[in-house]
Amino acid sequence: MRTLLIVDDEHSVRISLQAVFDSEYRLLLAENGKTALRLAEEEGPDIVLIDLMMPGMSGLDVIPQLKALDPHVVIVVLSAMNDVESVVKAVRLGAGHYVTKPFDVNEVRLLVQMALKAAEKSVGLSALKTEMTRWYNVDQVVGSSDAWMETLAMVKRAAGSSDTTIMFYGESGTGKELLTRLAHDSSSRSKAPFIPIHCAAIPEALLESELFGHEKGSFTGATELRRGCVEMADHGTLFLDEIGEMPLAMQSKLLRFLQDHQFMRVGGRTIRQADVRVLGATNKDLRKGVEEGWFREDLFYRLNVVPILIPPLRDRKGDVELLVRHFLAHFCKECRAAMKETTPEALALLKDHSWPGNVRELRNLMERIVVLNGDSSALAPEHLPVEVRGGAAPSSVTSPDLSLPTSMDDRVQELETRLIQAALEQSDENLSQAAVLLQTTRRILKYKIDQYNIVA
């Protein structure tokens, strides 16, 4: 029997985890870091479930010492959903897995099983890197930072069990869609279709028919029978993109489908069955959605079986250089441009940038630079936009004409319009990303665009 050490200052958490694992593992319980280290030294646990936020020694203090005692010990951290930074630190320190609190016990059980299985194969980080490079096609998915490698490792592990639902969380442009495709391609369902459905882009009234299809004549405009995404994805993968945007009424219908994989086309009477694996992605905090009432709790637990959090680019700056080289080469080839290198000064600026639009922002920037300056032999600081060079934003946006008298409302509208246009341009007219750049919500942005009649 394997030994599992549970470290959490909250009594209730220790008790609930004890109940989950009691029959399968020899359990050790610690309410603080000090006790945990003593137990680890005396008992040599195989796996440690550890809370990050504890008074006294935090999880982050304990992890390196656990690793020092036994480099092979498997560490799973328990963290708050919004504490991405600590999770990334914990991963750097050697934690291989994490669960966000409050957690679903099944979620934790599954993760512990996966963690141990992975450890059995004794995949150290360096071995992991080699394995990863073989696993994914290097010219498609770029990155070598520990945080990125850990993310990929998790995708790979989860992808292998081909019925397991995976939820990808991450800011706009971090690579959620890319990784869902990778998960599909590396599963046993890869020969069957991968069907994405973009929950935010489809009007609420059409979403049901889009998902489940409709019979001929079921509503005005339904001139012929149409199969929905669920049916098309049979034996394959259904990807629910931006699932955080799905209206509540539709969430109930989706939940019903997920429970028994049965559905009816709109206007139909036959109960149909579809064997699909579901992958979801969102840049929203669905747990908060549950609290705030815009996301169904039962659906959340159905979907959140294996949550994978993709770190923003600013937390894995080690990947910037590879990504720059990758996209530069890609666009140079496409545009037959000469720009093969990056000067060290330009690279330093690129690494320093905070990348609010993540990899997509970097990709778009490289494309723009190659298109505009591709005949230069190297990417230099003067090719970079002001926000990357670290200066102020363009003066046309920040310094409006302040001569009086004037109508304040008109001026505000004018300035907002210009900012929105700039953001839309920079984000390739991607609303979510433009909202990130403007540090506002997609809803507010959409409202203003409609109100001011803005065309990009």
What x-and-dash track marks residues 280-299 binding ligand ATP by CB under 6 A?
Answer: ---x----------------
Q: How far is CA 186 from the centre of its chain?
A: 18
CB of 335 to ligand ATP, least distance (A): 17
Write down the least CB distance from residue 176 to ligand ATP, Å. 3
Choices 172-180, 231-239, 293-301, 412-420; region in contact with Mg ion by CB under 5 A: 172-180
Quick one: CA torsion of 286, 290, 294, 299, rounded to 10 degrees? 80
Could you tell which of ligand ATP, Mg ion, none binds residue 414, using a CB distance below 5 to 8 A set by kind?
none
**Of ligand ATP, Mg ion, none, which one does residue 342 interact with (CB within 5 to 8 Å by kind)?**
none
Residue whose C-beta lies closest to ligand ATP: 175
Q: How many residues bind Mg ion (CB under 5 A)?
A: 2
Shortest reach from residue 364's CB to ligand ATP, in Å: 9
- Out of 45, 59, 96, 175, the residue judged to bind ligand ATP by CB under 6 A: 175
9 touches Mg ion (CB under 5 A): no
Q: Interface with Mg ion includes 428 (CB under 5 A)?
A: no
| Closest distance to Mg ion from the beta carbon of 241 (Å) | 5
Strands 166-169 and 306-309, sheet pairing? parallel
3-class DSSP string for the chain: CCEEEEECCCHHHHHHHHHHHCCCCEEEEECCHHHHHHHHHHHCCCEEEEECCCCCCCHHHHHHHHHHHCCCCEEEEEEECCCHHHHHHHHHHCCCEEEEECCCHHHHHHHHHHHHHHHHCCCCHHHHHHHHHHHCCCCCCCCCCHHHHHHHHHHHHHHHCCCCCEEEECCCCCCHHHHHHHHHHCCCCCCCCEEEEECCCCCHHHHHHHHHEECCCCCCCCCCCEECHHHHCCCCEEEEECHHHCCHHHHHHHHHHHHHCEECCECCCCCEECCCEEEEEECCCHHHHHHHCCCCHHHHHHHCCEEEECCCHHHCHHHHHHHHHHHHHHHHHHHCCCCCEECHHHHHHHHHCCCCCHHHHHHHHHHHHHHHHCCCCEECHHHCCHHHHCCCCCHHHHCCCCCCCCCHHHHHHHHHHHHHHHHHHHCCCCHHHHHHHCCCCHHHHHHHHHHHCCCC
244 binds ligand ATP (CB under 6 A): no
Q: Is 307 in the site for ligand ATP (CB under 6 A)?
A: no
| Tokens (6 digits) for 10 | 């909250």
97 is a contact residue toward ligand ATP (CB under 6 A): no
* Part of the chain binding Mg ion (CB under 5 A), chosen from 107-115, 170-178, 349-357, 400-408: 170-178
| Tokens 């609010």 sit on residue | 356
Exactly one of 104, 177, 285, 416 binds ligand ATP (CB under 6 A); that residue is 177
Q: For 49, phi and psi rounded to 5 degrees? A: -100, 115
Helix axes 105-120, 11-21, angle to 10 degrees: 60
**The only residue of 80, 81, 116, 178 in contact with ligand ATP, by rule CB under 6 A:** 178
Task: Report the distance separating Cα 71 and Cα 30, nearest Å.
Answer: 20
177 scored as a contact of Mg ion (CB under 5 A): yes
Number of residues this chain uses to bind ligand ATP (CB under 6 A): 18
CB nearer to ligand ATP: give 265 or 287.
287
Q: Write the binding mask 115 to 144 for ligand ATP: x where contact by CB under 6 A, - elsewhere.
A: --------------------------xxx-
> Judged by CB under 6 A, which of 164, 165, 174, 209 binds ligand ATP?
174
170 binds ligand ATP, rule: CB under 6 A: yes
Residue 171 Cβ vs ligand ATP, minimum distance, rounded to whole Å = 7
Name which position in 184, 287, 353, 363 contacts ligand ATP (CB under 6 A): 363
Site for ligand ATP in 425-444 (CB under 6 A): 430, 432-433
The CB-side HSE value for 207 (13 A sphere, CA atoms) comes to 23
Q: How far is the CB of 281 from Mg ion (least distance, A)?
A: 6
Q: Per CB under 6 A, does 265 bind ligand ATP? A: no
**Strands 74-80 and 47-51, how do they pair?**
parallel
Q: Is there binding between residue 356 and ligand ATP (CB under 6 A)?
A: no
CB of 428 to ligand ATP, least distance (A): 10
Q: Which range in 88-96, 165-173, 225-233, 245-253 contacts ligand ATP by CB under 6 A?
A: 165-173
How are beta strands 272-273 and 262-263 bridged, if at all? antiparallel
Structure tokens at 85: 């930074």
Q: Does residue 360 touch ligand ATP according to CB under 6 A? A: yes
C-beta of 139 vs 409, nearer to ligand ATP: 139
From Mg ion, ligand ATP, none, which one binds at residue 175 (CB under 5 to 8 Å depending on kind)? ligand ATP
| Smallest separation (angstroms) from ligand ATP to the CB of 5 | 34
Footprint on this chain of Mg ion (rule: CB under 5 A) = 176-177
Footprint on this chain of ligand ATP (rule: CB under 6 A) = 141-143, 170, 172-178, 283, 359-360, 363, 430, 432-433
